[in-house]
Amino acid sequence: MSVIAYKLEDEIGKDMAQELLVNINQKKAHVAVLGLGYVGLPLVQVAHQAGFSVTGFDVDQSKIDKLNNKESYIRHISKESVSDLMETGRFEPTSDAKKLALCDVIIMCVPTPLSKYRDPDMSYVEGTARIIKDHLRPGQLIILESTTYPGTSREVIIPILEETGMKAGKDFYIGYSPEREDPGNAKFSTIKIPKVVGGLDPQSQELTRAVYDTFGIDTILVSSLDTAEAVKLTENIFRSVNIALVNELKTVFTAMGIDVWEVINAAKTKPFGFMPFYPGPGLGGHCIPIDPFYLTWKAREFGLSTRFIELAGEINTSMPFYVCNTLAETLDKQFQKSLKGSKILIVGVAYKKNVDDARESPAFVIMEYLEKRGAILDYYDPFVPEILPMREHPSLVSRKSITLSKEALKGYDAAFVITDHDDVDYSMIVESTPVTVDTRNATASITNASLRNKIVKA
């Protein structure tokens, strides 16, 4: 091909990018969000509220059916807000991938779990990229939001899309902007959290920045796709390591007879140089227990080990067994009972307070471990009325929450607080059970001396 032909193609690419940029800024671009879960559906709302026409794609037909029926399947997203989406005529939920060809901006919000060997499971990203490939056309912008290892966009997504014969940066554009959702946190909704933006090339970055700017979200530009991918891992590794630190401090201070919660609450009064993190029964959710291992896996490609990250992982994954042993010791010392045959009420199975998301919840590891030791379990969680299908803990699927009452609490040998939802009557639980083992300091507000004597912190 001649130099003149190359220049002509470059000009065509620039013209397509300019046209797309104008359409984004004028909100004429059609946006698709792939994956309508805890990240994707809030992003749909933001794009829609900004004035864009939005297609929401998911392979889970039950989600599509609920949205078409103006129903929400995420607790902190109201039925009324879903109804508002559907009534404008600018939002279409679908499982028909052919409709992606009509979209100008395609944003991927799909899971990135770990395999059973704790390696990255890229099947959702790869599968979604292949769906896009089958309907890719010149001039589209593809953005990945899923948390992943540095190099994913270049090494996984672009090669799949280029199987069409089109070239990234010339025929279509590639951006990366890591999701930063905190489900249930009203203070930091999607639109209030700045977005880190990286692009394959200057045009891709400018288009990606324009998308989020036009959504009304502040953007922070970084120099490359790989850098943007590294940002999210860094954020979650930071949390994982610091949570591991306070979990280790908890085990040491508890052995010394010192309340780690009191220590942290006093330490955080220092106005500089200290950031409070809190111990618990293990890590949950789709980010912090998983993301650090993405970097650990990638580092091996460069012959490097991530000892600090791996040590934090070991500490955090040991915590479910530490708190279970505290429960076992409490039953033995106070009541001369073993776990085997003891009836335990698990309080809270969501991975964190005030959400209905139970992905990677340490409660499930705890429940399976206690049952292997012969305990008889029920659970109570006002946010998780039934345990939904999951790959990791099939024996727990379809179990249902009890209805909490004084009468229902009779007969339990212990209550075991795993998730500290706000809207739970902890005083009634403590009063109505022989002992409450609290892994989250959920009972801190109880001041009655006789009730406090029935609480053991784990």
- 199-255 per-position pLDDT tens digit: 999 999 999 999 999 999 999 999 999 999 999 999 999 999 999 999 999 999 999
**CATH class belonging to 239-457:** alpha beta
**Quick one: three-class SS letters along 127-185?**
HHHHHHHCCCCCCCEEEECCCCCCCHHHHHHHHHHHHHCCCECCCEEEEECCCCCCCCC
pLDDT at residue 1 tops 60: no
Cα-Cα-Cα-Cα dihedral sign, residues 167, 171, 177, 181: negative
Q: Which residue has the tokens 């940002």?
A: 231
Q: What is the pLDDT of residues 134-157, one digit of tens each?
A: 999 999 999 999 999 999 999 999
Can you read off the two tokens belonging to residue 418? 């795993």
pLDDT at residue 7 tops 70: no
Q: What residue ranges do the domains of the chain occupy?
A: 3-223, 239-457
Q: How high is the pLDDT of residue 2?
A: 37
Partner residues linked to 235 by β-bridges: none
Cα-Cα-Cα-Cα dihedral sign, residues 435, 437, 443, 448: positive
Q: In which band, very low, low, confident or very high, does the pLDDT at 15 lie, cut at 50, 70 and 90?
A: confident
Q: How high is the pLDDT of residue 241?
A: 96
Fold of 3-223: Rossmann fold (3.40.50)
pLDDT at residue 75 tops 60: yes
Residues acting as catalytic residues = 287
Distance CA 138, CA 182 (A): 34
Q: How high is the pLDDT of residue 305?
A: 93
Q: How high is the pLDDT of residue 171?
A: 97
pLDDT at residue 280 tops 80: yes
Question: Average pLDDT, stretch 57-79?
Answer: 95
Q: How high is the pLDDT of residue 13?
A: 63
Q: What is the DSSP string of 98-126?
A: GGGGG-SEEEE-----B-TTSSB--HHHH
pLDDT at residue 62 tops 60: yes
Question: Average pLDDT, stretch 14-23?
Answer: 93
Q: How high is the pLDDT of residue 92?
A: 97
Between the two ends of the chain, the Cα-to-Cα distance in Å is 70
CA angle 39, 308, 156 (to 5 degrees): 45
Question: Average pLDDT, stretch 34-43?
Answer: 96
Q: Which residue has the tokens 């959400």?
A: 355
pLDDT above 70 covers what percent of the chain? 97
274 close to 267: Cβ distance less than 8 angstroms: yes
Can you read off the two tokens belonging to residue 296? 């650990």
Distance CA 302, CA 305 (A): 9
Q: What is the DSSP string of 278-321?
A: ---S---SSSTTTHHHHHHHHHHHTT---HHHHHHHHHHHHHHH
Q: What is the pLDDT of residues 91-146, one digit of tens each?
A: 999 999 999 999 999 999 999 988 877 789 999 999 999 999 999 999 999 999 99
Q: How high is the pLDDT of residue 12?
A: 55
**Model confidence, pTM:** 0.90
Q: What is the pLDDT of residues 21-31, one digit of tens each?
A: 999 999 999 99
Distance CA 39, CA 108 (A): 10
